[in-house]
Amino acid sequence: MAARRFFSLVSRSQSFPRPTLGFVSLLHTLGRDTQRSRNISKLSTAAEVDELITPSVEIRYTKNLINGKFMDAASGKTFPAYDPRTGEVIAHVAEGDQEDINRAVSAARKAFDEGPWPKMTPYERSRILLRVADLVEKHNDELAALETWNNGKLYEQAVNIEVPMFVRLLRYYAGWADKIHGLTVPADGNYHVQVLHEPIGVAGQIIPWNFPILLFAWKVGPALACGNTVVVKTAEQTPLTGLFAAQLFQEAGLPPGVLNVVSGFGPTAGSALASHMDVDKIAFTGSTDTGKIIYQLAAKSNLKPVTLELGGKSPFIVCEDADVDKAVELAHFALFFNQGQCCCAGSRTYVHERIYDEFLEKAKAAALRRVVGDPFKKGVEQGPQVDSQQFEKILKYIKSGVESNATLECGGDRIGTKGFFVQPTVFSNVQDDMSIAKDEIFGPVQTILKFKDTDEVIRRANNTRYGLAAGVFTNNLDTANTLMRGLKAGTVWINCFDVFDAAIPFGGYKMSGVGREKGIYSLHNYLQVKAVVTPLKNPAWL
C-alpha cells in the first residue's frame, strides 16, 4: 500500500483506488445509499440484520503450525470458532495448551540456535518477507472474508484497508532487514569499541481479537526482520486468519520453526508462553488487566523483556471554534469505528459548552442514521460485536450509564434476536466519575461531556489511568499546540483520528502500555545491544 495516511478524514466527493481508501471515506461510501429519509424514533437505529450473506471462503487451516507443519493439539482437544452474526459455530480449532507451547518454543529455539534464519543474510530475509507480502496480496479477498466471518468487522474495511495494511507493514519491515547495523564509538584510551545490534532470540507474541490479521503483521514483521524466531498465540475468539497467514509464510520459503502459531486460551497457552524459560522476549496486545498478568509471569520466570500495548479511554476534544458538522463526523468515526472495538477509540467526547447542545443533537442524529447489519453487505456501517461475552459487557455498561443518571439519547439495546448486534448508543450529561466515562467499554457507546476552557479539559482528560491516544478538533494553532503538549498520550491526532502508518510509532503512556509498535521503534523491541571493546596498539588515530 503506497499511501502514507491509511485512516484519514477526506472529502465525501473524493474517490480512491482500493489500496489507498481512507476509513472515514470508506464508511461514508458504505453508508451513503442507506441514509435515506425514514421515520426514526428517539432510541431506534437503522438496522438490517435479517438476511445474511453466506461467505464463499473455505476454512482450510484449523491446526497449530509447529516446526513448519500443521498438527493437532497434543491433547487432541478443539474449541469452536463462531460467526458473531449468528453465534453459530463455523469451525473447530486445535486447542493448544502448555505442551503445544513447549513444542513450539522448542522448534523456535532450534531454528534460532541451529537454523539458517539468524545466519541468513539480511537481504535474503528481506526477500522472503517480500514474497510473503506478495502472497498475502494475492489472497487479499479470501483473508478479508475470513476475517469478517470470524470477527464481525465490515468486509469492505477488511478487504480495502486491513489486509492491504498487512502487506504494507511486511514490505516496510522487509526494507528494514538489511539496514539494521551498529555503531563505532570513540572511547577514552587506546580502544576500538563496536556496538552490535543482535536478534534477541525466541520472541513470544500474543495478539488480540479486534484486529487479528493486522496485529499479526505488527508483531511478526519486525521480529522476523531482526532475525528472531517467533511463537504466536492467536486470540481464541479469532484464530482463523492467523493460521491462514502462517501457511503463506511457509509457502514463501520461511524455514521450519522460524514462525510457529498456536491457538488456545490465555490461562493455558498464553500463560505458558509468557512464563516459558526458553522464551527471550514477550509482546502482548490486549487489556490492561491481562497485561499486568503477562508482566508478572515474565518477571517470575526468566525476567524476559516485555512490550505491552494495552487499553485506552481516549479523549476526543472539540473546541469552541470547531466546525460542528465536521467535528461530529470525526467524533462519530473515532468512537464507532470497528463496532467501537478499538483500544484508541475516542470514547470520551469532550465538547465546549458553547457548542455542546448543537453538537449533541447532530451526534445523536448521526448515531440514529448508522446502519447496523451483516458486515458482508454494502451500505452497512456496523457489524456485530465479536462474541457473547463482549456483547453482554457492553449492555451492562449501558445499563450502568442509565443507573448513574446519564441521559440515554439513543440506542441502548440489542438489535434482533440472534448474533451480537448492539444499537449505536449516545449518552449526554456524562460526569467524569461515571463508569461509562472511566472504563474501557470497547463497544458502540459514545459518552459526551461538557467543558469550559483549555486548562480544565487538559486536567480532566489526563485524569485517567490510561494514556494511549487523544484527539483534538480546533482551527486555532495555539490551542492545538497547547493541547498536544498537555495531553499525556502516546498519540495525539489533530483534526484527524486513527491515522496509522507503518512508520508511525504506536503505544501508550501510563497503564496503556510499555514500548512502541511499528516504525523503527518496534525494531528496538527485538534487538539486543552488545558492546565489544578491543585494545589498540600504536593506533594511527583515535
Determine how β-strand 69-71 pairs with β-strand 64-66: antiparallel
Helices 324-336 & 356-369 angle (0-180, nearest 10): 50
H or E stretch at 145: helix 140-151
Q: And the C-alpha cell for 210?
A: 479486534
* DSSP code for 386: S
Tell me the residue type at 142.
Answer: E
In which residue are the cell numbers 465536521 written? 326
Whole-angstrom CA distances from 224 to 116, 263, 311, 524 are 12, 20, 26, 13
**How would DSSP label each residue in 389-448?**
HHHHHHHHHHHHHHHTT-EEEE--SEESSSS-EE--EEEES--TTSHHHHS---SSEEEE
Helices 240-251 & 122-138 angle (0-180, nearest 10): 130
Q: And the C-alpha cell for 135?
A: 502472497
Whole-angstrom CA distances from 484 to 314, 315, 460, 461, 478 are 13, 12, 14, 12, 10
What is the per-residue burial (b if ≥16 Cβ within 10 Å, else e) of 39-77?
eeeeeebbbebeebeebebebebbbbbbbbebeebbeee
What is the per-residue burial (b if ≥16 Cβ within 10 Å, else e) of 116-144?
ebbebebeebbbbbbbbbebbbebbebbb
Q: Is 381 one of the annotated active-site residues of the chain?
A: no
76 in Cβ contact with 107 (< 8 Å): no
Which one is catalytic: 95, 142, 236, 309?
309
Q: And the C-alpha cell for 207?
A: 495478539
Q: Which residues are catalytic?
A: 309
